[in-house]
Structure 1
Amino acid sequence: MLFDRILSRMIRRGTLTVRFPSGATRIYRGAAGPVAGFNLRTTRAERRLLTNPGLAFGEGYMDGEIALLPGSSLFDVMDLLVINWMEQGHAGERIMEKVRWLRRHVDQLNPAGRARRNVAHHYDLNGRLYALFLDRDRQYSCAYFPTGNETLEEAQLLKKRHIAAKLRLDTPGLHVLDIGCGWGGMALHLAREHGARVTGITLSTEQLEVARGRAAEAGLADRVSFELMDYRDWKQPVDRVVSVGMFEHVGIDHYRSFFRTVRGALKEDGVALIHAIGRSDGPGSTNPWIAKYIFPGGYSPALSEVLPAVEKSGLWATDIEILRLHYAQTLAHWRRRFAANRDAIQSLYDERFCRMFEFYLIGSELAFRHMGHMNWQIQLARRVDSLPLTRDYMREAELRAATHQTEPVPQGSSAGLRPQG
């Protein structure tokens, strides 16, 4: 069997047990590592794994054609496969990667209409779904773990403080544009804790409704507004621009347009902070399963793809920070919360949806643990002298926030609520 020969060459760490459609069971042993196993229930699944494994394994699991063997979890299986995949590779997948590379300018073409459809695919799901695995503020982006011991609630609060410090909101009443505002948590934080006026824009009707309701409930509707708007349509000058977890949806052919929009939106002494997922090993392409089922049109870029667009926009990159394993920690929290609420989520959708989302959360976590994914934060300014000469003001702002801000401190351990030196 060809697939048997491929696995024999590929598994160099851990122990993988595979039950084939014929009923035969093979065990592939390498050096010490994870132990896991799965059952290939159909010859169709086996055949598809030979030609397009990046898409076929997830689809096979969703459809029940690939099942876990007793004693194995989906995380165990995927962890073992990813570790060996990164070390040994797969000839069929290397070919498909080249095909995806050639197609990526088409796949990531995101004019306004297509961008709205892509956003709706993922963000206009039943709002209760996200409440069942995110933190209470519905922060659907990488949290910030200074010590690694923070709860999810604490780490998301610290993420907001960290970003606010880089925006240098040193004067009450500054107008902030929040591009890709999600359910409004960042905008509400900046208004409540820093006295900012914030306009959040999104392409998700579900998020828009929730964000507006939250602003009214918090008594901040006079300082925070939310609009259904594409970033390319923004024309009003503002003091600050923030964008968290949205740049992944821009598309590589639109980077120059994005940063030109940011520069055009900023007043002469304005500051922007862009936070996004990236890759440390250079340009690539989006996993085909993720592109089909989770984030159509999405792509996590290398900084080598982003910085040329920044340079051509005329903006200064005044600070760049790389957050390495912070998103792996965040996703692990989401994965555990999803599992704890699986029955409730299944009642909203079905078993296939639950399998799809589990595969997405685990695969994403492993991308940050083993596959070179990270988060980057780029601070931008129009003028070279808009910000202090050192980063000390950021730390000072976070220290002030730890003692003076009014957002409720999450219940649980207080570890990490002060920035670490």
Structure 2
Amino acid sequence: MVVPMLLEAALSRLIKIGTLSVRFPDGTSHTFGTGSEPRAAITIKTERAKRRLLLNPALALGELYMDGEVEPGPRGLFQTLDFLAMNSMEGGSHPLDKFMEKVRWFRRNLDQLNFTGRSKRNVAHHYDLDGRLYSLMLDEDRQYSCAYFPEGDETLEEAQLKKKRHIASKLRLDRPGLEVLDIGCGWGGMALYLAREFGARVTGLTLSEEQLKEARIRAKEAKLDDKVTFELMDYRNWTRKVDRVVSVGMFEHVGVNHFRTYFDRIKSILTDDGVALIHAIGRADGPGSTNPWIAKYIFPGGYSPAISEVMSVVEKSGLWATDIEVLRLHYAKTLEQWHHRFTDNRSKLAELYDERFCRMFEFYLIGSELAFRRMGHMNWQLQLTKNVSTLPLARDYTFDAERNSEAKSNPAAKLTAVAWDRQRELS
């Protein structure tokens, strides 16, 4: 009787808005909350599930859903997790939440000791999955990071292309032949784009053997293997000077213990007039810890830092932070589109793996989307230089670069760019 009573007390404390209906293993049902909308429901199928939800809900909920011991109500998993996220942000909390968060906080330095060997194992855990998974879920270029939706209604392909343009504009690729280092290059899409569109010479670094193999194939097929090379290498082992550094969606895997090493390495390899652009996930509510389910099943060793944690290290490195941009909700829209594609191809993916894997990935995509919609996550882009005078004094050059890049492939955009330039001249 103790566990049911304690779990019901925990649920009463958690649900501050709306109504949650819970069906327990003995067939009884209880409601928690205000009795009004919004509404959600879950079924707890086993006594083990009740115990685990009481003791460590942040880890247990995802595991129990994967194992079929907890099922969402008729409105589906998204609505159930969204309901719980809303209540969490309204101040609802499980009695053990604060204690478990303190435990994770004290452990985070240990959990993020991402030395070279451990980093490679962590990367393999997620990025060396069957490539067909990513080909079915991502855009054609396999961009596995936040897309850019300046208009809000872009397709996934359009938004990922705009992300590449946006980042390229901040790299100031103002002449061909610049040497670029892409730290955490994924399947090579960004490196190939910079070489093809700007004549850059790019080296992409990855710790994923699957990504390395695919990236090299893509470079050869695109006839860009004379300009783009890919290496299985940790960023800490790169020593040659480069004109530009770009890193998209990799900083989350660095680990808090290694932030200083990361920025010191960027400073040491940049030429005197070099520029770096770092694009990563962050949190708006200050330093924290990684959700234990995400750390165990999706991104071991991973952490999305607050900008305050990053900037305190950048200041010590001696680099200039020449531009900081926060992208709000862009990743929520990206994850929403990935989830739609995952759902459309769920039967194919179940054949590649199994139902438990599909439930894991579904929980990951939905939970991540809600982290950006409800729980203070966002993306930040940080532009860095070694010297204060490297870049123009105003940001106009980035806008011009984006418009000019779009005009190359879009006649209508070219007319808009010409009109914009004419208007600037007149003003």
TM-score range, shorter chain: over 0.9
Match of 1:323 in 2: 327
Say whether the 8 Å CA contact 1:86–1:371 is kept in structure 2: yes
Aligned pair partner of 1:90 in 94, 97, 122: 94
> Larger deviation: 388-397 or 24-33?
24-33
Aligned to 1:213: 217
Give the match for residue 385 of structure 1.
Answer: 389
Is the contact between residue 372 and residue 378 of structure 2 (CA under 8 Å) also seen in structure 1?
yes
The reply to whether residue 367 of structure 1 matches residue 379 of structure 2 is no
| 1:340 aligned onto 2:344 | yes
Structure 1 position 32, deviation (Å) = 5.5
CA distance in structure 1 between the partners assigned to 2:118 and 2:108 by the alignment? 15
In structure 1, the residue corresponding to 2:18 is in which secondary structure? strand
Aligned residue in 1 for 2:136: 132
SS of equivalent to 1:47: helix
Secondary structure class of the residue paired with 1:361: helix
1:148 aligned residue: 152
Which secondary structure state, in structure 2, belongs to the residue aligned with residue 91 of structure 1? coil
1:34 offset after TM fit, Å? 3.4
Structure 1 residue 7 displacement after superposition: 1.6
1:350 aligns with 2:354: yes
| Cα distance in 2 for residues equivalent to 1:377 and 1:333 | 22
Percent identity of the aligned residues?
A: 66
Q: CA deviation at 1:353?
A: 0.2
Deviation, structure 1 residue 43:
1.0
Structure 2 counterparts to residues 9-20 of structure 1, below 5 A: 9-20=13-24
> How far has the Cα of 1:405 moved from its partner?
4.5
Distance 1:252 1:30 in 2: 41
How far residue 68 of structure 1 moved from its aligned partner, in angstroms, is 2.4
> 2:164 pairs with 140, 147, 160, which one?
160
Normalised by the size of structure 2, how large is the TM-score? Answer: 0.94
- 2 CA distance for matches of 1:247 and 1:391? 24
Paired amino acid for 1:25: S
Letter in 2 for 1:75: F
- Is 2:93 the partner of 1:64? no
Structure 1: distance between partners of 2:343 and 2:32: 29
**Unaligned ranges ≥5, structure 1:** none
CA distance in 1, matches of 2:38, 2:77: 12
What's 2:425 paired with?
Answer: none
Match for 1:77 among 72, 76, 80? 80
The answer to whether the 8 Å contact 1:17/1:26 transfers is yes
Q: CA RMSD in A?
A: 1.6
Q: Write the mapping of 1:278-289 to structure 2, written as runs, cut at 5 A.
A: 278-289=282-293
Contact 1:193 1:405 in 2 (8 A): no
In the TM superposition, 1:389-400 aligns within 5 A as 389-400=393-404
Structure 1 runs of 4+ off > 3 angstroms?
31-34
CA–CA distance in structure 1, aligned partners of residues 208 and 274 of structure 2: 27
Q: Which runs of 5+ in 2 are unaligned?
A: 421-427
| Equivalent pair of 1:34/1:79 in contact (CA under 8 Å) | no
Q: Is the contact between residue 13 and residue 93 of structure 2 (CA under 8 Å) also seen in structure 1? A: no
- Between the aligned partners of 2:374 and 2:177, the Cα distance in structure 1 is 43
Is 2:259 the partner of 1:255?
yes
CA contact (8 A) 1:332 1:365 kept: yes
Which of 96, 99, 102 is residue 106 of structure 2 equivalent to? 102
Alpha carbons of structure 1 residues 322 and 216: separation in structure 2 relative to 1, 3 Å: same
Q: Which residue is 2:407 aligned to?
A: 403
Partner of 1:194: 198
* Alignment match, 2:238: 234
CA–CA distance in 2 between the matches of 1:374 and 1:240?
A: 25
Within 1, Cα distance between the matches of 2:409 and 2:240? 29
Cα distance in 2 for partners of 1:168, 1:85 equals 42
State how far apart, in whole Å, the 1-side matches of 2:38 and 2:331 are: 22
1:229-249 CA distances to partner (integer Å, 9 max, x unpaired)? 000000110000000000000
Relative to structure 1, is the Cα distance of residues 33 and 311 closer, same or farther in structure 2, using a 3 angstrom cutoff? farther
* Higher mean C-alpha deviation, range 120-129 or range 12-21: 12-21
Asked if structure 1 preserves the Cα contact closer than 8 Å seen for 2:10 and 2:95, the reply is no
* 8 Å Cα contact 1:20/1:39 also seen in 2: yes
- Secondary structure of 2:82's counterpart equals helix
Looking at structure 2, the residues matched to 111 and 17 of structure 1 have their Cα atoms a distance apart, in angstroms, of 46
